Amino acid sequence: MKYFSLNRKAPDVSFREAVVRGLAPDRGLYFPNSIQPLPESFFNDMENRSDSQIAFAVIEQFVSDDIPKDVLRRIVEEVLTFEFPLVQVEPDVYSLELFHGPTLAFKDVGARFMARCLGYFNSMKSTSENVTVLVATSGDTGGAVANGFYEVEGVEVVILYPSGKVSDIQEKQLTTLGKNISALEVEGSFDDCQAMVKKAFLDKDFEGKVNLTSANSINVARWLPQMFYYFSAYKRLQQLGKPIVFSVPSGNFGNICAGMMAQKMGLPVAHFVTGTNANDVVPNYLRTGSFDTKDTIPTISNAMDVAAPSNFIRIEELYDHDIDKLRANLSGYSYTDDQTRSTMRYLYDTFGYIADPHGAIGYSALKDHMADSGFDGVGVFLETAHPVKFLDVIPKEIVPRIVLPDSIENIVHKTKVAHKISSYTELKDSLLGR
């Protein structure tokens, strides 16, 4: 299996090359040139398979021969060392909790998988040149990438984050690991960080000196493993014998697109719903048919503050760039911060369930879709972050009920190590001086 560029002006590549490059030379996203449905026997027998057996069967075709099967099996086992609880919130409504990984973000699975793939590819190289993963973060991505790549041989990780604009816990997750992980604290906004990273990828001065690669969700090794979540929920719900709808709080639309890939592989999903905050370009597009990007609006669900969702082009490819085909499979809703806060209160007061702002949006979108369509089946919303990461925006009366996980207890006492920079030149000097 090969990957082609969605800009269609670059050669097809193997999984390995797609992972190492991140983006195609024509700046397009890579997309698999075939998606083979899994056999019926796989679905009939799912109950008897472990998480890692399911994940291996799901990802295998996309890796092809670039990683030997026994190595891939081991990688998948090392990635999935935590739980993905499916919590019933009310009759026929479940929360799929994806935040029990080391950095309490659903991005842990993709980051850990990508890190191990890159580590394997490095170990196979005759030369021992390092790869430098350069990543800009508004909060969640940096922690997941730092943790996923920690102590991976031959990989240096450099994380840029905007000074004073990530939560205390998120900052600790980025700045306390040490070893092959370094943090650069940028005097500026997240957009400034991202602009510096983009500039570095195009800068010819690094050629032959530093091998830069990216670890954001455009990378196929971060995006595709997320298919597993949907299979894992299905395994536990299939005995109910009811149709299933997934509702996904979305920013760059990588996670929901992975669900749509799972459906292409034969997973019985009746419909997808996306929930967004005020950055609502996709729900608007579904309603009006025109894709109008605005400036990014800051919200309390800040991991979804994305004005131009990078993975949406992959979703369009899956539906042949036909909006009616897309509408038949996807509904979208958007919510204000006030609505999000009142959903968090409602969930807590009515069901005793504590949702983070992103999960709350997933829940609202699910309920609105069920009401609007009269859907009579099971609804699953994806809970993408632990509420402890958003203490400053969760209604005050709920905060004391949130239990601090061990991984956070251990980190709050550690000392932050970050190097402050304020210009691209300083970033460049720092990278070339390694």
Q: Please, what is the minimum distance in Å from the beta carbon of residue 140 to ligand PLP?
A: 4
- Is residue 279 part of the contact set for ligand PLP (CB under 6 A)? no
- Is residue 250 part of the contact set for ligand PLP (CB under 6 A)? yes
Separation of alpha carbons 254 and 322, rounded Å: 19
Q: Which one of residues 385, 388, 393, 431 is an interface residue with ligand PLP (CB under 6 A)?
A: 385
- Is residue 304 part of the contact set for ligand PLP (CB under 6 A)? yes
Query: Taking contact as CB under 6 A, which single stretch among the options 12-20, 35-43, 173-181, 251-259 is the one that binds ligand PLP?
Result: 251-259
Q: Which one of residues 63, 218, 303, 380 is an interface residue with ligand PLP (CB under 6 A)?
A: 303
For ligand PLP, the closer CB: 138 or 180? 138
Query: Which residue type, as a one-letter code, is found at position 349?
Result: D
Interface with ligand PLP: number of residues (CB under 6 A) = 16
- Is residue 101 part of the contact set for ligand PLP (CB under 6 A)? no
Quick one: 339 exposed, middle or buried, by C-beta within 10 A (0-12, 13-18, 19+)? Answer: middle
For ligand PLP, the closer CB: 140 or 185? 140
For ligand PLP, the closer CB: 157 or 210? 157
Query: Per the structure block, which two tokens stand in for 7?
Result: 């800009």
Query: Per the structure block, which two tokens stand in for 365?
Result: 């979108």
Separation of alpha carbons 413 and 210, rounded Å: 34
Integer Rg of the chain from CA? 21
Separation of alpha carbons 281 and 231, rounded Å: 28
Q: What is the DSSP letter of 3?
A: E
Query: Per the structure block, which two tokens stand in for 166?
Result: 């990530």
Separation of alpha carbons 434 and 430, rounded Å: 7
Q: Where are the beta strands (DSSP E) in 26-100?
A: 30-32, 86-90, 93-97
Handedness of CA 221, 22, 177, 150 (dihedral sign): positive
Q: Which helix (H) or strand (E) holds 383?
A: strand 378-383
The interface mask with ligand PLP, positions 214-243, x = CB under 6 A, is ---x--------------------------
Q: Which one of residues 155, 299, 384, 428 is an interface residue with ligand PLP (CB under 6 A)?
A: 384
Are 414 and 176 in contact, with CB atoms under 8 Å apart?
yes
The interface mask with ligand PLP, positions 139-178, x = CB under 6 A, is -x--------------------------------------
Q: Is 107 a catalytic residue?
A: yes
Q: Please, what is the minimum distance in Å from the beta carbon of residue 234 to ligand PLP?
A: 19
- Choice among 107, 172, 367, 428 that is catalytic: 107
Residues recognised as catalytic: 107
Give the residues lining the site for ligand PLP (CB under 6 A). Answer: 105, 107, 140, 217, 249-255, 303-304, 358, 384-385
